[in-house]
Amino acid sequence: MSLIDAQLKAILVCPCPHHADLDEDEAASQLVCTHCHLGFEVRDGIPIMMLEESVVSDAYQPEKCGAADAVPTVANGETSS
Ligand SMILES: [Zn+2]
Ligand SMILES: [Zn+2]
């Protein structure tokens, strides 16, 4: 059982600058970038591959991409590094 068609998954990449592969998170019905951990909701087998609709989880690491301004960020006023 998988969220989306394997052939579709094979051609999908994250919109982040690395265009990394995506992992399926079946529990959350999301595709998650293997690089920056940005999540994309899957609705009726269709992954919503838009930054505007992406899911920013605790695991999201925009700093890994070095382009935090290219993806939605949570304003928290703090930097950890
Ligand atoms: Zn990514
Ligand atoms: Zn990336």
Structural domains of the chain in order of their starting residue, each with its CATH number: 6-70 (2.20.25.10)
C-alpha to C-alpha distances, 79 to 11, 28, 63, 69, nearest whole angstrom: 34, 28, 10, 15
Ligand nearest to the CA of 63: 2
Least confident range from 36-40, 53-57, 71-75: namely 71-75
49 Cα distance to chain centroid: 8
Q: Summarize pLDDT for 35-53 with one digit per residue, the tens.
A: 999 999 999 999 999 989 9
Q: What is the distance in A from the centroid of ligand 2 to the CA of 61?
A: 8
DSSP 71: S
Q: What is the distance in A from the centroid of ligand 1 to the CA of 72?
A: 12
Share of the chain above pLDDT 90, in %: 68
For ligand 2, a single-atom ion, the residues with CB < 5 A are 16, 18, 35-36, 65
Picking from 72, 24, 70, 66, the residue whose alpha carbon sits closest to that of residue 81 is: 66
Q: What is the distance in A from the centroid of ligand 2 to the CA of 77?
A: 22
Q: What is the pLDDT of residue 74?
A: 57
pTM for the predicted model, two decimal places:
0.77
Q: Summarize pLDDT for 16-42 with one digit per residue, the tens.
A: 889 999 999 999 999 999 999 999 999
